[in-house]
């Protein structure tokens, strides 16, 4: 199995926001998985025979530790799903249940993992994994966007087919892809799932990213430091990281307001001119009771300004 396929099969196990899977789609995918299970039997497998070399960047060790303690105390109540390795007959490939597998692997008291074995191809495995995981927990907007991008980049199918997997409309997939590609996988991963941060705020972040001169590595470092320094019992570290990056971008885009400077020029007792520096340039205001002078200036101001500009260029 290619690295791209391994990555896309792992993302849902490692991520956690948008909407629960539609019952029809979830039931169909899980029913297909059950139909492919060998004799519907639950097997006790050696965890070392199950291949699972997929990315674990978002796996929460504390979460796995809690699950491990539960399995050691009351047993593994929900089996994982694997499929037979097409090359090595004595090995298996994980379809879903990564946390349960990791919990058993790290246990000194439980030596076998309870598993169902199914015969399915890559596509069926992804469908089953998506349904099982979204049925258990929501995926955030950016997580769905990243997963959609992974599926598209590895030629899983059309946008309509990806939309079916993630229970989204085709237009929602299109907007999600636009955000994920603009933010970039590195920055999105540094920020994290950011539960509760929906499409509008991510699109606002994209606009600021495109307008800001800040280098992305600086924002990635900021996001990682914010997550590391935010206690989970105080606030969601990934939401704090999103807010920190958003605030840094907004501050970078806040241009200083030009100092408003006005110079008064008294021409005579009937005429007073004021030159005011504005953010757009320079404004000339003339107050006079001499109508003839005003008409003369209106006629000759253009050539006079041209002469001043020429003198400026020759200086």
Largest CA distance in the chain: 106
* 3 state SS of 261: strand
Phi, psi of 154, rounded to the nearest 5 degrees: -105, 20
pLDDT in the model for residue 155: 80
Residue ranges of the alpha helices (H) in the chain? 3-14, 23-36, 61-74, 98-105, 122-136, 141-153, 159-166, 170-183, 185-191, 199-211, 216-229, 237-253, 291-314
Distance CA 181, CA 37 (A): 37
Give Cβ neighbours of residue 175 (< 8 Å, ≥ 6 apart).
Answer: 199, 203
Q: What's the residue count for the chain?
A: 315
- The reported pLDDT for the residue numbered 203 is 96
pTM across the whole model: 0.59
CA distance 272 to 112: 94
Q: What is the pLDDT of residues 220-267, one digit of tens each?
A: 999 999 999 998 888 889 999 999 999 999 998 886 655 667 888 888
Kindly give, in sequence order, each residue whose CB lies less than 8 Å from that of residue 211, ignoring residues fewer than 6 positions away: 253
CA distance 190 to 61: 17
Which domains does the chain show, CATH number per domain?
Answer: 1-139 (3.90.1530.10), 140-254 (1.10.10), 261-314 (no CATH)
Predicted local confidence at residue 133, as pLDDT: 57
Return the C-alpha torsion angle 122, 127, 133, 138, nearest 10.
130
- The stretches in the chain having pLDDT less than 50 are 8, 12-27, 29-30, 35, 55-61
User: Measured between alpha carbons, how far is 268 from 265 in angstroms, rounded to an integer?
Assistant: 9
User: In the prediction, which pLDDT does 16 show?
Assistant: 34
Q: DSSP assignment of 4-68, as one string? A: HHHHHHHHHHH-----PPPHHHHHHHHHHHHHHEEEEEEEEE-GGGEE-----TT--HHHHHHHH
Phi and psi torsions of 20, nearest 5° = -60, 150
The span from the CA of 130 to the CA of 118, in Å, is: 16
């Amino acid at each position: 199995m290619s690295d791209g396929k391994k990555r896309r099969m792992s993302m849902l196990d490692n991520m956690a926001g948008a909407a629960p899977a539609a019952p029809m789609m979830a039931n169909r995918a899980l029913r297909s998985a059950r139909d492919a299970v060998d004799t519907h039997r639950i097997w006790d497998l050696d965890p070392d025979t199950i291949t699972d070399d997929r990315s674990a960047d978002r796996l929460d060790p504390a979460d796995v530790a809690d699950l491990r303690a539960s399995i050691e105390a009351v047993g593994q109540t929900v089996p994982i799903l694997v499929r037979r390795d097409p090359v090595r007959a004595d090995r298996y490939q994980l379809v879903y249940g990564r946390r349960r597998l990791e919990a058993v692997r790290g246990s000194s008291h439980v030596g076998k993992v309870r598993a169902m074995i199914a015969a399915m191809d890559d596509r069926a495995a992804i469908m089953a994994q998506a349904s099982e995981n979204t049925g258990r927990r929501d995926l955030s907007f950016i997580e769905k966007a990243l997963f959609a991008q992974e599926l598209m980049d590895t030629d899983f199918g059309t946008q309509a087919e990806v939309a079916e997997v993630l229970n989204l409309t085709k237009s929602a997939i299109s907007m999600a892809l636009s955000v994920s590609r603009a933010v970039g996988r590195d920055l999105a991963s540094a920020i994290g799932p950011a539960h509760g941060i929906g499409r509008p705020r991510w699109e606002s972040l994209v606009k600021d990213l495109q307008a800001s001169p800040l280098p992305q590595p600086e924002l990635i470092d900021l996001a990682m430091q914010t997550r590391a320094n935010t206690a989970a019992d105080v606030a969601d570290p990934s939401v704090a990281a999103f807010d920190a990056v958003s605030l840094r971008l907004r501050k970078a885009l806040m241009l200083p307001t030009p100092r408003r400077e006005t110079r008064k020029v008294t021409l005579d007792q009937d005429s007073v001119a004021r030159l005011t520096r504005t953010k757009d340039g320079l404004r000339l205001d003339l107050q006079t009771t001499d109508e003839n002078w005003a008409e003369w200036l209106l006629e000759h101001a253009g050539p006079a300004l041209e002469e001043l500009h020429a003198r400026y260029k020759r200086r």
